[in-house]
Structure 1
């Protein structure tokens, strides 16, 4: 044993290869994913031992994150998903991993802000201003239903936090063999902190800052015996949205993990997670006109009574059993519920009626009727995996045979809104909208609508039950040539009931989804590889749970008078790439080129398009591009993660001929992000982040971005932007460290996403300064 900063550092984390060979170390129970991947190929001798002075400089996440590369806390060595049976440097796919150290030093806290910095990802808006929770677009494809926690799907559009997260893994490209239905552009997997019997520690972070920012997190692991340990995490956070107060965000969360090891080859972990998020929302601004730009300096018009809420509770149980040499069994089961709701107010331009007594015909900013909805989510999933390492015909195989059962049920409903505010100046006398003209300068703007609400009835009952089996194999044909592949079958039952008044309309169908992945990697030297891979993803009609029968947004597509279900939407990705580890495996360089095709996209029938084509699977897209990356230590004192994506999207087929050749909505062709930290001395480190996005256009998922043939340009186009963050860390002593973060140093105006009609535009956060004191005992 050796110690560092008050934490007992087990030898199993210094020399994982030896622990794997023995199969008896306690680390094997808490870091099975790492075991599976390093067992296939022992680590070089030069990375089995890391000097203490390097750890002192590079940061402390290596002490507690079993997946990180020792001495390079920005670099993950392995995935937290044990089904990834090789180290990330040998995994033939673009996978970006954001480690806990990188997350903390960036000052980003929720999943939305973390992913907004990743190349290939953009933040999306929802139908009718949907604000249930997080929504992302990856390589031009919806990602909101493809978020996973520890390899299990986390359904619903809840708000997601990072206080109990070890690392965030972003898999790019279709991956339905791992993820199941959906995952057209890839998937997000959050790896959570787990209890360990190898050490005791207590960590606490206290943060304060501008805009009434306050955040407290604690992380404690208690070893009660060699066979039992507990780990708990707690979060409290409150902040005003910079320069958009009184809009604010509040969070409370807790997680508890218990590890039991009744035998050296068997362990069980039980995790409980809770998060309450309560935001006072701001839908931002809007476009001045088609072909125009977002309007600046729109005052905060959020009304009292507006809110965005999420309450999430999950219980997860996992077992790991090393049956025999080369054979192990893992099972994970989770039951979860989530309650989401939102009532929002949006702004737009409107023309006053001719009868308006003040300014007939004038164009003014008004508030709309509002956007609202509630959601109740219940899900149950069980995933079983059997891993087997064997030699067949002189070749080494890593087999995975798995199965999964899942039940996802989402009940969507509405709120009944009441407004007692003044007449809407845009229409003169009507009280239908009760909107407020920003130009009037009315005092107490947050109460102008006099808004109140009560929860109304449900209107959409969505349910999918799935039974899945999959088989994967990674085989070393020679020391320098590896073949990999996998297949998955999902058998599903889909049920949807819509309700309007007392009328209920049921829809139901069932079917099978087949998906595959495969490829070949060549290693001309030990530390580098070239690879070719392909992967598929499929999704069903009505795969999105929150939009009912809104066909253009992933809801169930119907044809009047026809029992229509359509064919699954299929996405196929082809990728060639290379990965190299240098500087004793502390820096990884990656490059990849890909082409993604999405076929059979559901599009809303227009005119006689259905009678002509006989299907709604009429859309076809292509996304292609190049991604470059570097993560780890450039020098022993300089850590970095750099990512660049240069992409292009095109509509290849559509029911609307004019859309062919146009790009997809909320899609940036160029995205660049770099986070760097330089350790000036053993105590003082400085760093920062640069984030660039090229321009994006608004639209909806099933069509091209909205285009004006009159103007000859995209109707609602968000301008490109570049923002800079900065931070500095100072080690006070062996127990305390201080950090200062400045986000959006230049106080830049920038916009994250826009609704298809331009009626609201999400504003990126302005400058914020925070100070954090971290204690570790």
Structure 2
């Protein structure tokens, strides 16, 4: 990429800003200082998703709308950054087959595959920007009726910036700590009568405060055109491009494994940060800055292209809309997981071996080392989705209907592979003299990300070789098609009683072409699922501004729902054995249902919206191991919780956004774990005799009864902004998240001897991999220098709190940036 390319977006915007068409005053811009943050009620536009068929205050769902005002005021520069202001949303790390990308958990359920852009599913795993985001709609609860497959805990709908009937422009430039540089532009023009054009752009370049070596570079542009603004027939075309280059953050390793955790009982294994003592008594200090990756190896490159064509026509009180959207995303990366799997962080012995093969290898068992496990991936996703909707209002006698009916046809494809590299994975234990010399292992306390790492043809070879992509036969491809029909109706029986109904049927077909050995015949595994989901709710309105409701909704997650673009609890088998072919037929969609009651109120002339909800969500048919050691579909989980949210204007010039969430997330049935007692043999005169054959036993999974991973019981956020003397603004954000668990393990075992039969040894240790709770505080101040020029300063994580924002199931946890202060100069035109 040439050095000029990253500025393409802003150069386009700058050209348009200079247009004489912007000489007019921007009515919307003039209103910005006194604009209310209103997220419900009739004073704001309807949600962009036409399937939400009533004003949000009249919908029997817990819905949070994150407006662009809050995104801008908090200095958010990514989807994850923006969603930190919404209570009850946590984030999972890349793990196992899960690629790097946005992985939000809503109400305790992974919603990575339930992210939509302008009402259309956006499948590819990516780190999304917000420069082209008008608002983010968070619909909580089982939601397959609204969005289709998945959506067990809820959905995210990102609404893009599209042309409107105003003329305005805004350019912002930010600079701050850790060489933070960000430039954004947003221009809306009237090209002719009823023709609007809008273009948004971004250039972002920063290191990460408090972290060694980490950097993020990206640029993007998003033009859009509307023909027919203000007329009954409208054509909308939009395009979005984002290109990213970064050194991905590898976080901090957990201290213990189940094999070396000291003591007995329940043991917390937290990231090895601060003062750390090892198994041999040696102590050291691990600062937040420690980065265990390698600048000579690690990278992440990603692009995302999205194009939308939408046609709308109004006839009477009804509108017909057709939306066609094409998505293409690709990414390639090698990133380090600082791995604790061999006990190399804390250590497994007080002294290193001095005799035998272990001594000859130079095995290091006393801890203080981190294996640099290189996780790799390259691939792409393509999607072509067409949705047709008929929506609007009509009456049958005295009964009012607000309806949406529609169809969806989708084709999606994902293909992925891995790079060929040597990282010491074939050497046990991972850290010895040779692996340390090759920088496969590094110091827990003083890692050097600039170590001169070299790739070899194998872990023991001395022949350097470049890192290359795997051969085509080692790649995996998933194809999927969806045909769906749906309908929604908000029925106002009398002004104070509203019934909300919805139903959707999906036919989801996926085909998996797994990796095969060189020269082997390609395998094609196909699965088809029919999914019927529905929702029903009753809304009672004591007054026009208040409502209480009760609702029921379902969701279904079919096998291979994410096409390998996320963590697949219910993946298709990858080999064509007889057992796997039977499993292919036996697979079942995971089923989720949510019961919810709540209340909503719009106060101060609908400028302050309050919402409360209590709910229970159950998931059935979870894929687990049976007592016979085979796959079965009996797993169950349950989440109960309450949600309190507030958003809008408390007093003129004083806005608030945030709330509190309490969750009680429990794994009711995690299935079984199979333990094996090794065979007992005896060798006499060169002849081996089996005294006792291997034996197995099924025991309840360690997960049963535990808190669902990636969830927190208590979370709280509050963002506020106060306007003083019409020119000055002060604000800030407070965030609290409770302890988060990544995964569990215990040390139960099944053993036998020549003289005794198999014996089940009860667990003496249960390991909880977790990250501690935290408070985070942000501050913001701004001054309007002129009616067109504003200067603001954001201080994120103002107390420089050391905390972790993602818990991996094992190995490591992601650490959050340190204090980041940056100033922004914004020009309105």
TM-score interval, normalised by the smaller of the two chains: 0.7 to 0.9
TM-fit CA distance, 1:686: 0.5
User: For residues 7-406 of structure 1, what are the structure 2 equivalents within 5 Å?
Assistant: 7-9=25-27, 55=31, 57-59=33-35, 78-128=46-96, 130-196=98-164, 198-261=165-228, 264-290=231-257, 291-296=268-273, 297=286, 299-303=290-294, 304-323=296-315, 325-349=316-340, 350=344, 351=347, 354-355=358-359, 360-406=364-410
Q: Please give the alpha-carbon distance, in whole angstroms, between the structure 1 residues aligned to 2:167 and 2:503.
A: 42
Residue of 782, 787, 790 corresponding to 1:734: 787
C-alpha RMSD of the superposition: 2.8
Specify the SS of the correspondent of 2:542. strand
1:539 aligns with 2:557: yes
TM-fit CA distance, 1:118: 2.0
Cα 1:389/1:341, change in 2 over 3 Å: same
Cα 1:711/1:238, change in 2 over 3 Å: farther
Q: Please give the alpha-carbon distance, in whole angstroms, between the structure 2 residues aligned to 1:184 and 1:425.
A: 39
Choose 1 or 2 for highest CA Rg. 2
Residue in 1 that maps onto 2:584: 564
Q: Please give the alpha-carbon distance, in whole angstroms, between the structure 2 residues aligned to 1:464 and 1:162.
A: 28
Cα 1:618/1:556, change in 2 over 3 Å: farther
TM-fit CA distance, 1:367: 2.7
Cα-to-partner distance string for 1:231-284 (whole Å, 9 max, x where unaligned): 111110011111113111111100010111198210000001100111111111
Residue in 2 that maps onto 1:411: 415
CA contact (8 A) 1:369 1:434 kept: no
Residue in 2 that maps onto 1:637: 653
Specify the SS of the correspondent of 1:355. helix
Residue of 633, 636, 639 corresponding to 1:617: 633
Specify the SS of the correspondent of 2:126. coil
Cα 1:588/1:399, change in 2 over 3 Å: same
CA contact (8 A) 1:57 1:636 kept: no
Residue of 389, 409, 428 corresponding to 2:433: 428
Cα 1:222/1:609, change in 2 over 3 Å: same
Cα-to-partner distance string for 1:99-157 (whole Å, 9 max, x where unaligned): 11100110111001222332221110233384432112111211111110000000111
Cα-to-partner distance string for 1:350-400 (whole Å, 9 max, x where unaligned): 156641687853213223331011121111000000124221142111121
Cα-to-partner distance string for 1:526-571 (whole Å, 9 max, x where unaligned): 10000001111101112122269x8647565884462534221111
Q: Please give the alpha-carbon distance, in whole angstroms, between the structure 1 residues aligned to 2:813 and 2:564.
A: 21
CA contact (8 A) 1:461 1:496 kept: yes
Cα 1:579/1:58, change in 2 over 3 Å: same
TM-fit CA distance, 1:448: 3.6
Cα 1:167/1:698, change in 2 over 3 Å: same
TM-fit CA distance, 1:441: 5.1
Cα 1:556/1:740, change in 2 over 3 Å: farther
Residue in 2 that maps onto 1:693: 737
TM-fit CA distance, 1:637: 2.0
Q: Please give the alpha-carbon distance, in whole angstroms, between the structure 1 residues aligned to 2:82 and 2:445.
A: 38
CA contact (8 A) 1:278 1:307 kept: yes
- Structure 2: runs of 5 or more not aligned: 1-21, 258-267, 274-285, 457-465, 673-699, 749-762
Cα-to-partner distance string for 1:724-749 (whole Å, 9 max, x where unaligned): 00001111111011110000011111
Q: Please give the alpha-carbon distance, in whole angstroms, between the structure 1 residues aligned to 2:211 and 2:224.
A: 37
Q: Please give the alpha-carbon distance, in whole angstroms, between the structure 1 residues aligned to 2:97 and 2:824.
A: 34
Q: Please give the alpha-carbon distance, in whole angstroms, between the structure 2 residues aligned to 1:136 and 1:247.
A: 22
Q: Please give the alpha-carbon distance, in whole angstroms, between the structure 2 residues aligned to 1:57 and 1:571.
A: 44
1:582 aligns with 2:603: yes
Cα-to-partner distance string for 1:304-341 (whole Å, 9 max, x where unaligned): 22112220111100111002x12210111011211112
Q: Please give the alpha-carbon distance, in whole angstroms, between the structure 2 residues aligned to 1:432 and 1:567.
A: 49
Specify the SS of the correspondent of 2:321. strand
Report 1 or 2 for greater relative contact order, CA contacts < 8 Å, sequence distance ≥ 6.
2
CA contact (8 A) 1:228 1:258 kept: yes
1:769 aligns with 2:745: no
1:487 aligns with 2:503: yes
Specify the SS of the correspondent of 1:166. strand
Cα-to-partner distance string for 1:664-705 (whole Å, 9 max, x where unaligned): 111100010000111122111111101101001113xxxxx5
Cα-to-partner distance string for 1:633-681 (whole Å, 9 max, x where unaligned): 1111210012110111111223122433211111100010000111122
TM, length-normalised to structure 1: 0.86
Cα-to-partner distance string for 1:208-253 (whole Å, 9 max, x where unaligned): 0000100001111111111212111111001111111311111110
Q: Please give the alpha-carbon distance, in whole angstroms, between the structure 2 residues aligned to 1:174 and 1:680.
A: 42
Residue in 2 that maps onto 1:702: none
Q: Please give the alpha-carbon distance, in whole angstroms, between the structure 2 residues aligned to 1:309 and 1:275.
A: 11
User: For residues 677-756 of structure 1, what are the structure 2 equivalents within 5 Å?
Assistant: 677-699=721-743, 705-706=744-745, 710=763, 714-756=767-809
Cα 1:735/1:419, change in 2 over 3 Å: same
Which 10-residue stretch deviates more, 208-217 or 485-494? 485-494
Which 10-residue stretch deviates more, 171-180 or 412-421? 412-421
CA contact (8 A) 2:778 2:794 kept: yes
1:456 aligns with 2:500: no
CA contact (8 A) 1:519 1:533 kept: yes
CA contact (8 A) 1:347 1:365 kept: no
Cα 1:333/1:706, change in 2 over 3 Å: farther
CA contact (8 A) 2:50 2:404 kept: no
Q: Please give the alpha-carbon distance, in whole angstroms, between the structure 2 residues aligned to 1:149 and 1:157.
A: 13
TM-fit CA distance, 1:402: 0.4
Q: Please give the alpha-carbon distance, in whole angstroms, between the structure 1 residues aligned to 2:768 and 2:237.
A: 51
CA contact (8 A) 2:36 2:649 kept: no
Q: Please give the alpha-carbon distance, in whole angstroms, between the structure 2 residues aligned to 1:344 and 1:134.
A: 16
TM-fit CA distance, 1:625: 0.4
Q: Please give the alpha-carbon distance, in whole angstroms, between the structure 2 residues aligned to 1:441 and 1:226.
A: 64
Q: Please give the alpha-carbon distance, in whole angstroms, between the structure 1 residues aligned to 2:735 and 2:37.
A: 24
CA contact (8 A) 1:480 1:524 kept: yes
